[in-house]
Structure 1
Amino acid sequence: MEQIPLYQHIVNTLKARIASGELQPGDQLPTEAELSKEFKVSRITSKRALTELENANLIYRVQGKGSFVHADLPPLRPLPRIGKEILFILPFTHNPGLGDYEKGINEYLATTDYTLNIQSNTVIGQRRLLETALHNNNSGLIIYPVSSSEDLGILYQYYQSKFPLVTMDKIIDGISFPYVVSDNFDGGYQACKHLVDNNHKRIAFLTPSRIEKSSSIRERYFGYLQALYDNGLIDCSVNDLTERYLSHEGGDGKEYYRAFIQAVTDNGITGIVAENDLIAIEIMQIAKDNGLSIPDDFSIVGFDNIHLSSFVEPKLTTISQDFAQMGYMAAKNLIGMLEDPQRPQDNVIVPVQLIQRQTVKLL
C-alpha cells in the first residue's frame, strides 16, 4: 500500500496545529532545521513542506526572519471523506505474537468496496499520525491506541468533528468512541480462578505498566481481584506486593523481574497472573536462569496465546484472544458508521478462552 510522503506528514501536521489553534495567525513556524529534527527528515523535505503551505496561502515567509501563519485564515476543517480507504493505526510494524488483526479487518472489507491502509506509530508517533489522518482523505479510522490516556487533545478533535473512528484493544478515557475489545475482565478472572482451582492460595498479578494507563490491563487486574474475592483470598501481603510492583515503570526490566521473583519466593506466593505472554515467558526464563523450576517453584498464567506460548518449555498456560475476530468486528462497526451515520454506535466485547498447558501445578 502507498505510504504518505514524508513532506506531506509535515504539511498535514502543521495544518492540524493551525486548525486546532495551537498555531495562531501571526505565529512563527518552526524553522527548516527544527522541522528536520522533529520529523527526522532532511532539510530538503522540510523545505518542501513549507513551500506547500506557502503555495496554499496558509503561511508567508519573511527573508531572514522565518515563516509565519497568515492572518485572517478561514478555519481549517477535516477534508470531506470522499475516498474509500480505511486507515488502521497500530503501535507495532509486524508482530505475529500479537495476533492477526489485519486478517480480520481485510476479511470484512472484502465484502465491501473499501480498502485498508496500515500505518505504524513506531517511527512517526501516534500523535503525528492522528494529526495527519484528521486532514487526509480517509473514510474512517481504526486505532489500536498506545494507551487509554495519551493524545486526548487530538482524539477529542476527532470526536468533535464526528470523524468515524473505532478503537481496538483499549477504550479511550473520557471520550465515547465505539470500541472492540477482548473480555479482559473475564480473562483475568479465568486466569486467577484456574490457579485457585489448582489449590493456589497466594496469587500475585504482574504488570510492568501502570494499570491506569490501559483499560485492557486494568480490566484484567479487576478480574483477578474479583476471582480472589469470590474465593475468600483477599490477602494484604499479596495486595501490597501487587501494588508495589504495579507502580513500576522504566529502569532495568530484568532487574525488576529478578526482584519480583525474589519477592514471590520471600512471600510464599505460588501463582502468578501475568499481564501478557511476553512478560510470562520472560519471567519463566529468568526463573530458570536463577535455578528455579516452573511450575514446581511457582505456577504462571499468561494472556494473549501468542505463537511462542506453545513452543516454550514448559508450554505456557494462557488466555487466548481472538485477534482476527476483533479486527473483523472493528471493520464491521466502522463500515456500519460510514454507511449509516445515524445508526447507534456499537461496542463489542469478544470472548476469551483459557488454554491449559504445562505451567500450572496442582498443589
Structure 2
Amino acid sequence: MKEPLYKQIYDALHDAILTGTLAPGSRVPTEKELSETYQVSRITSKRALTELEQNQLIYRVQGSGSFVRQKTSRVATGKILFVLPFANDLSLGNFTEGIYPIMQAYGYELLMTPADYLEKTSPQELMQEFDGMIYYASNTSSYYDLLFTCQQHGFPVVTLDKQLHDFDFPAILPDNFEGGQLAAAHLLSLGHQRIAYIFGSRHHPQSVRKRYLGYVETMQRSVDFLTKLDDGRAVLTEAVTYIQDQQITAAICENDLVAIELMRHIRQHPQIPADFSIIGFDNIQAAALVDPALTTIGQNFAEMGRLAGLKVIEQINQSADTAQEKNHVSTEPAAQLVAVSLIIRESTQPKE
C-alpha cells in the first residue's frame, strides 16, 4: 500500500535531518514551500511538520518558521557496542583481556558483535541502545551513512586497526610501519638480501600499506632492492613464480594467513626454512601450530583493547557535557599507536 502523502514528506525530512543534510539549527521548508514542492495541500504539509515537532526533531519559532532541533543529551544506557568482524573467532585477535577489565571498572556492559549487526540496525536504534561504540574497521569504506550520522549527532565512536580519514573518530592502531621495519631488519640480520613482500591480493588495506612501507624504508637503508628486485613485491597468486624468477631467499607476508598459504604453495621447493625464510603478521593462533612454526609480528591486542575501552569512555564523558550542536566539518582523526613485537620461530633461519 502506498504511504500517505504527509508520511512521504515526513520521511524525506526525517532522513535529511538524520543524515545531516538538514543540520541542527537549520531552517526547515515552510508549509507553503512543502505544499508546492510535493504538490499537496498545506494541511498535508502541516501534518508532516507537526509530527516532526512531536518527535522532537524540529521546533517552531513564531514568525520565523521551523528549525532542526539541536541534539539533546541521550539517556545513558550503561552499554557499549564492540563491532568486531571476527567476534566469533577470537583466535584471529583477542582484545577481551584488555577491554573487559576497563568495562568492569567503569560499570559498563560490553556487547561484542560481528559487523553485520550494523546492517540490521539504524543509527537511531544504535544511539538509543548504546552510549558509545568501538568499531574494528575491517575496511575504510563500510557503513559510511551510519558513521556519518553518528558523527553528526556526537555519538562516541573509537576505531580499531584503521583510521577513517573522513571522520574525526579517535583511533587505536598497531604500529604497522614499525612491524614492517622489524620484519625486514630481522631477515637482513640473518644474511638475506633478496627479500620480497607478498600481498594476499591486489587490494591493499591501510594497515597492509603501512607494513609494506616499513619494509621499504628498512630495505632502502640496507640494500638496493629496488634495482635488484623490480619493486620487491608480488601477490600470492604469482608469488611462487616471482620467488623463483627473482631468486628470492626470504619473504615478508602481509599477514599470517598469507604466510601460511605461501608455505603451502612452496612446499619443499625451496625447503622452509633451510633455503627460504618467511615472516607473517598478527601472531594468530595458527602461526605457532604450523610446521615449521611461523615467525611473525605480534600485535598487543590486550593493550589495544584497554586503550580503546578507556578512549570510548572518555568520549562518552566528554559528549555528556560538550555535545556537538552544529554541522560538523571532519578533521584528521587522532591516532594512538601501539607497539608491535617480533616473535621469532622456526620459519626463519640464517641464509646459508
Once the two structures are superposed, the pairs formed by residues 104-183 of structure 1 within 5 Å of their partners are 104-121=98-115, 124=116, 126-129=118-121, 131=123, 134-183=126-175
2:260 to 272, 281, 306: 281
**Alpha-carbon shift at residue 332 of structure 1 (Å):** 0.6
1:111 aligned counterpart, secondary structure? helix
- 1:191 aligns with 183
Seq. identity, %: 31
Cα-to-partner distance string for 1:42-73 (whole Å, 9 max, x where unaligned): xxxxxxxxxxxxxxxxxxxxxxxxxxxx9445
2:213 aligned counterpart, secondary structure? helix
2:149 aligned counterpart, secondary structure? helix
Once the two structures are superposed, the pairs formed by residues 283-362 of structure 1 within 5 Å of their partners are 283-288=262-267, 291-341=269-319, 347-362=335-350
- 2:217 aligns with 226
* Distance in 1 of aligned mates of 2:86 and 2:163: 18
The aligned amino acid for 2:153 is: S
**Higher RCO (Cα < 8 Å, 6 or more apart):** 2
**Alpha-carbon shift at residue 156 of structure 1 (Å):** 2.2
The number of aligned residues is: 288
- Structure 2: runs of 5 or more not aligned: 1-11, 23-46, 59-70, 323-332
Give the CA RMSD over aligned residues. Answer: 3.0
2:225 aligned counterpart, secondary structure? coil
1:354 aligned counterpart, secondary structure? strand
The aligned amino acid for 1:116 is: L
2:183 aligned counterpart, secondary structure? helix
Closer, same or farther: CA 297–141 of 1 in aligned 2, 3 Å: same
Question: Is 1:96 equivalent to 2:87 in the alignment?
Answer: no
The aligned amino acid for 1:112 is: Y
Contact 2:134–2:157 under 8 Å retained in 1? yes
Larger Rg: 2
- Structure 1: runs of 5 or more not aligned: 1-13, 25-69, 246-255
Cα-to-partner distance string for 1:83-140 (whole Å, 9 max, x where unaligned): 110000111232232221123211111111111011212xx36454474654432100
- 1:215 aligns with 206
Closer, same or farther: CA 190–200 of 1 in aligned 2, 3 Å: same
Contact 2:252–2:279 under 8 Å retained in 1? yes
**Alpha-carbon shift at residue 79 of structure 1 (Å):** 8.0
Closer, same or farther: CA 239–104 of 1 in aligned 2, 3 Å: farther
Closer, same or farther: CA 137–292 of 1 in aligned 2, 3 Å: same
